[in-house]
Amino acid sequence: MKDLLIESLRLSGKILMQYFNRPIETRLKESQSSIVTEADLASDSMIVKFIGKRYPEHNIISEESGFKNHNSRYTWIIDPLDGTSNFAAGIPWFGVLISLFENNIPVMGGAYLPVFDLLYFAEREKGAFRNNEHLIIEKKGLKESLIAFSVDYTDDEAFLDKGIYLYKYIIKNSRNIRSTNSLIDFIYVAEGKFGGCINLYTKVWDISALGLIISEAGGIMNDINGKNIKFTINNNLINRNFPVVAGSREVVISLKRVLHRTFVNSRS
């Protein structure tokens, strides 16, 4: 299954590069912040067929093709093109994400950045790697760190105001803010380039592989309330939003108070 996951990432990357930096049509999905292209669909079709042919009895959850439920203990979670808006704009901040769950626990996760030919892989309790190089997140505090911060379009003005408050706090208490609003932000956390990352709008396919990579590199990914993220493989998982914070232990711990004050204590 490890070999299949890695091969799927690389094959998908080849497909995406055939479309990148060429004229491409986009279609709105949930909002102006969420689009899909023919590259997303071509990548999705390849991965789903490739995995399904080898393991037809396994479940598959994909951003573009939904939930194929075979009541298996194994579930593949697929984001065939993470960073679609960047991709469509010709910006190389995009990639492919695949994770493998055993029951409700991610046990393998991979990410591939085809423009840079960088492949990231983690297996539960076996470490995280970039092109076979071991990743270890160094200790770094909030003041010494660049922090990624991302939020998408929302009609929830109260939630957006909380995000803006949090953004101001990070500006005042970190080295500075950077953001690609894609898997790149989390990858840079795993590599130690960013001390932390906050993203207020993610789905299971956005974070399951990356959370495993970060944790196996020695970091943390929590929900915005500071709790461990728990996934349950069912139909409801597809629609669930996961506001998350990830980073070195020092950064995540230092953000817990402001996150709790912003998103827990402020609830009406």
pLDDT in tens, the chain (268 residues): 999 999 999 999 999 999 999 988 877 666 665 678 999 999 999 999 999 999 999 999 999 999 999 999 999 999 999 999 999 999 999 999 999 999 999 999 999 999 999 999 999 999 999 998 999 999 989 999 999 999 888 889 999 999 999 999 999 999 999 999 999 999 999 999 999 999 999 999 999 999 999 999 999 999 998 899 999 999 999 999 999 999 999 999 999 989 988 987 765 4
Q: 187-199, pLDDT tens digit by residue?
A: 999 999 999 999 9
Reading the block at residue 174, the tokens are 């970190």
Please tell me the pTM assigned to this model: 0.95
pLDDT digits (tens, 9 = 90+) for 86-111: 999 999 999 999 999 999 999 999 99
Does the domain at 146-263 match CATH 3.40.190.10? Answer given as no
Domain 2-134: state its class.
Answer: alpha beta
Domain borders along the chain are: 2-134, 146-263
Note every long-range contact of 36-40, with CB atoms under 8 Å and residues 24 or more positions apart, other chains counting: 36/64, 36/84, 37/81, 37/84, 37/87, 37/88, 39/15, 39/81, 39/84, 39/87, 40/64, 40/80, 40/81, 40/84
Taking the C-alpha atoms of residue 251 and residue 204, their distance in angstroms, rounded to an integer, is: 23
